[in-house]
A and B are shown apart, each in its own frame.
Chain A
Amino acid sequence: MSLFIVMIKEIVDNLRDRQTVFYALLFGPILLPLLLGGSLVASFKQLSIDFDEVTTLSVQHAQRAPRLMEFLHSQNIDVIDAPEDVQNSVRRGDVLAVLEIPEDFAEQLRQGRPAPLTLHVNSADKESSKAARRVQAILSVYERTLNNLRLQHRGIDPTIFDSLNLVENDVSSDGSNGQLLASILPFLFIMSMVMGGFYLAIDTTAGERERQSLEPLLSLPLKRSAVVFGKYGATLCFVTLSCLLTAISIYTLFHLFPVELMGGQIRFDGRTLVRAFLLASPLLPFISALLITVSAVTRSTKEAQTYLGLMMMFPMAPFFLLQFLSVKSTTLTMPIPMLSQYQLLESAVLGDSIPLMHIALSATGTLAAAGLLLMLASRLYQREGLLD
C-alpha cells in the first residue's frame, strides 16, 4: 500500500518537472525517432531506384545504335541528345550520365564481337551514380538478350549457360545498411527507456538525498523496501510509457512516409512493432532497476548524472558491437540483457522467425538480472551511510 503511495507521489512530483518530462516524453519517444527515422526516410527516398518511372538519358550518337534506342524506349527511358562537352557537363552535373556510342559499335556487333559502349558518370555524385546504375542494369538485360540471339544463331540452347540463376542482392546501395537499419529499432527502444527513467530515477534517489528529505521519509512507519519499490515502480512507469510512445511514433513515421527498405525485407509496420515491443519488454524492469540502483549509490544529482551518463554507453555498446563484429544469435548470447534484445529485435525487423528458446532465454536472463539489481538496490537502502 505505502509502495503505491510512494509511487504515485513520485510520478506526480516528477510530472511537474520540465526536464524529466522533456526527456521522458519528448526527447526519447519523439525527437530521437524523428531525427534518426527521418533522415533514414529521406536518404532512402534518394537511394532507391524506381524502374517504372520514366526518365531521360543523354546518348551521344544515338543514330549509331537504333535497336538499342528502341530497347531503351521500351524500358521507360526517353533518349535525348547529349550536350556538346560531354565530360564537363557530367562533371558539372548538368546531365547525370551520358551513354556514348562509338563509331564501330554497329560493326563490332555485326561481326559477333564485344561491341564497345562508354558510360560517362560522375561517381562522386550520388544522383549520377544512381542514374548510371540504372543504365547498367538495363544494358545488362539487353546484353543477355543479344547473347541469347547469338547463341541461338549458332544452334546452341542459351539456357545451358544458365548454370546459375543468380538473383542480385545489391549490397552496394542499401544492402550493407540492412543491419544498421534493423538495429535502429532496438537502439531507439533502449534509448527511450533509458531517457524515460533517467531523471526520475535520479530525482527520487540522489535528489531526495540532496534535498535531505530522505531522513524524515525513512523515519516514517513504513518499510524501507516499500520506499525503494515505490520509487522503482514510478521509474518503471516512466520507462514503459517512454518506450510505448517511441513505438507509436516510429509506427506513425513509417506509416506516413512508407519507404521500401531493402526490397521490403525490413518493415516497421504495426505487427513488427508490437512483436518488437514484446520482445524488448523484459528490458523495461531491467533498465528501471539499473537506473535506480546506480543512482542509489550516488550522493548528489550531479554525481548520479555522471554515473548514469557513463551508463548510457550500455545501450550503444551492442549497437556498435554488432555493426563491426557479426555476433551470431546463439543460446550463449541470448541470456545477456541488451545484447540479446538487439539481436531479437533485428530479427523481428527483418521478419525472421525466432526460436522460442531464444525468446525464453532472453526474457529469463534479463528478468533475473533485473531481480538481482533490485535486491542490490534495496540492500543499498538499508545502509546507514545513506543519510550522510
Chain B
Amino acid sequence: MNTHTELIHTLSPEETAAIEAQIAHLPDRQSAAIEALQIVQQARGWVSDESLKATARLLDMSPAALDSIATFYNLIFRQPVGRHVVMVCDSVSCYVMGGEALAGAVKTHLGIDMGETTADDRFTLLPIVCLGACDRAPLMMIDDQLVSGPELADLTNVFERFA
C-alpha cells in the first residue's frame, strides 16, 4: 500500500507539493524535516499531533522521530498559538537594558503571562533568546516585525497594528 496516499486529507496538496519540492533537492526524505515543519506551521499557525503524524508519514519517518526535531526548536509550535506571536527577548543585552520591565509592561498590557494566549486568540506571548538586534535593546518581535525604542512607549498603538 502506498503510504503517501492516505494523508491527502490531512496535509493539503499545497503543503504536500511544497514539502516534496524541498525533498527533491535533498539526499533523503527525512532531511526535509525542518522545512516540512515550517511549511505546515506556515499554513496552520502551529503543528498539531495530527499534522505531525501526517508530515512524518510523508517524510517516511516515525512521528516520534519527527517530534524529537519539532520539540527541539522553540519556534515550531506544538500547541495552538494566537493569530500573532509576541516574543520578548530575555537575553543578556536586553536584560541589561530593561528587558524585564518591557516584559512586565507587555504582560500587563495583554493581561496574560508568558506562554499564554489572550482570550480573543489574538496574541500569544513568549520569551525568546537574543534576536540579533542587541543595538536596539530591549526589544520584542511580533510575528516577523521587530519593535523597539520609542515605539515601546505606546503599546496600545503597537498592538493595534496586529488585528
Tell whether A and B belong to one assembly.
Answer: no
Interface residues of B (CB under 8 A from A): none
